Chains A and B, each alone.
Chain A
Amino acid sequence: MTTKLLICDDSNMARKQVARSLPDDWDVDISFANNGVEGIKAIKEGKGDVLLLDLNMPEMDGYQVLETILKEDLPTLTIVISGDIQPEAHERVTALGALDFIQKPVNKEKLTEVLLSYGVFTKPTSDTESKADKHLSAAPAAAEQLEKVVNTEKPVNTTKVIEPLHVAPVPVSNEQPPEEVEITMSSDMRDCYQEIANVAMGRAGDLLARILNVFVQLPIPNVNFIEVSELRMALKDIESTESTSGICQGFISAGISGEALLILNDSSFKDVASLMNYHYEEDKSTELELLMDLANVLIGSCLKGVSEQLDIQFSQGHPEVLGQHRNISDLIANNAKKWKKTLAIEISYSIENYPIKCDLLLLFTEKSMQTLNNKLAYLIE
């Protein structure tokens, strides 16, 4: 019997990765959904006996999808595939009825193992058709369904239906389209960066949750190819609304270099201190100690997440304190002549029940784009 499988993730790359990681000899009918709203709709249309669900999505996130499934008693078996790997995220989704939790980036062995263990997928005993045939027969159906699922966004180019996994339109993003310059970022690429950032962010968030013993709310990372002036504006904005402290740290690998910036609202120090069991005294040294601890954890694990996925290794320079002596935006202003554009990955962590807000920016130089794009091309293939 053909299993109706629904993959619900806002990232095109992630959907492809999941679809590729399915067991070879599984007789499935795959549909895709871009966000929770589409996912629920597809389940109601009977397209999701089995649901592979991401957690961080726009419109309606994975938790809300699980709640809706529970509330409306929808007939689907859910396995969560997420970059958010905090133990508490795992507990929460299990409490909401998910069968299991798989860490991103997903791989075939793990996914097969989980599917087997819940009896969702059983190895066929008699192989009447060849594997390739089955796969092909499932594919066009998936494309058709995909079209139905996503046609609320925009008409799908029908000539592409031959390659079903590539049809999915780009998830709607609230970011501005990149400007036309020498180097541009295709929406496919942006999606790819976003997914990489998503996994890296999850790793860092997990560590943060462990040291603070809290639940970290993970956002959808913002990926933009921006002008230096835009970055300056963004930083000015942060500075003007609240007083902040920051740490920056350079990183470099063959052909890829950039800087990580960690910006923490000064008002967050007290809460962070109590969570980390520091005796908080309002002096610069405790604050710096805290800031450095956070920076080490977040910058280090985020870079590690990126470097593992791209199969590179970064050297990290010594961190530098920003804002204590100079304004962040001024620092960048000094260099306006040296570089014009940067690939910026912006992640805003917030912590449940605490007014702590902390921004992590990964800025890659324009020069790095070539190498990065080459590395990504391997991943998309």
Chain B
Amino acid sequence: MSLESSQLNELHWLMEMLHNIDVGLVVLDREYKIQIFNGFMENHSGLLPREVKGQCLFELFKEIPQDWFVRKADSVFLLKNKAFTIWEQRPYLFKFDSYRPVTGSADFMYQNTTFLPLLSATGEVSHLCLIVYDVTDNAMYKQSLEQVSPESLT
């Protein structure tokens, strides 16, 4: 296999992995327009890539409070630093249904998210990657534990 084709293969695998990984991935530009949306995001939102490409995040997902989000994102752009949100602070960024609609007892998918700065070739942060983790099970366990013995967690 030539070097070129092996590199192409690697790229192909990477794309395949990112598309199928059970974690949400979204790339936004500085105007919060969606550039890439992986399979997890497609399936849970029900939106196709062509429906979201170049669209403003806040218009497609009304549940995201713009001021709050921009404040977080600004610091990422400025400081070239990651930012995190956890479900205790904000149960979800995207309002998705619970992964287990039948046996799960959650009404929606609890999410932790990471805001990842993406550096351009010039070293500036031109884009931002959102990583969305489904932490519904953790949240449900912790909440039911709290109900049983509130002091056990403090």
Residues of A within 8 A of B (CB): 248-250, 252-255, 257-259, 261, 313-318, 320, 322, 328, 331-332, 334-335, 338-339, 342, 363, 365
Contact = CB atoms under 8 A, between A and B. Distances in A.
Interface stretch (B2-10, B44-52, B82-90, B122-130): B44-52
19 contacts: A248-B100, A248-B103, A249-B100, A250-B104, A253-B43, A254-B43, A254-B48, A259-B102, A313-B43, A315-B22, A317-B99, A320-B100, A320-B103, A335-B102, A335-B105, A338-B107, A342-B102, A365-B101, A365-B102
Main secondary structure of the interface of B (DSSP, over half): loop
Given A258-B101, A320-B100, 17 more contacts: A249-B100, A250-B101, A252-B97, A254-B45, A254-B47, A255-B46, A258-B102, A259-B100, A259-B102, A313-B39, A317-B22, A317-B134, A328-B103, A335-B103, A338-B101, A339-B101, A342-B102
A257 B97 contact: yes
Contacts, number: 68
B29 interface: no
Interface of B: 20, 22, 39-40, 42-48, 97-105, 107, 134, 137
Contact of B101 (A259, A313, A334): A259
Contact of B43 (A248, A314, A328, A339): A314
Contacts of A322: 103
Main secondary structure of the interface of A (DSSP, over half): strand
A332 B39 CA distance: 28
Nearest to A248: B103
A145 B59 CA distance: 59
A289 to B, nearest CB: 21
A254 B47 CA distance: 7
Given A334-B105, A335-B105, A338-B107, A317 B100 contact: yes
B20 to A, nearest CB: 8
Nearest to A228: B102
B1 to A, nearest CB: 28
A70 B21 CA distance: 52
Contact of B102 (A314, A318, A339): A339
Contacts of A318: 22
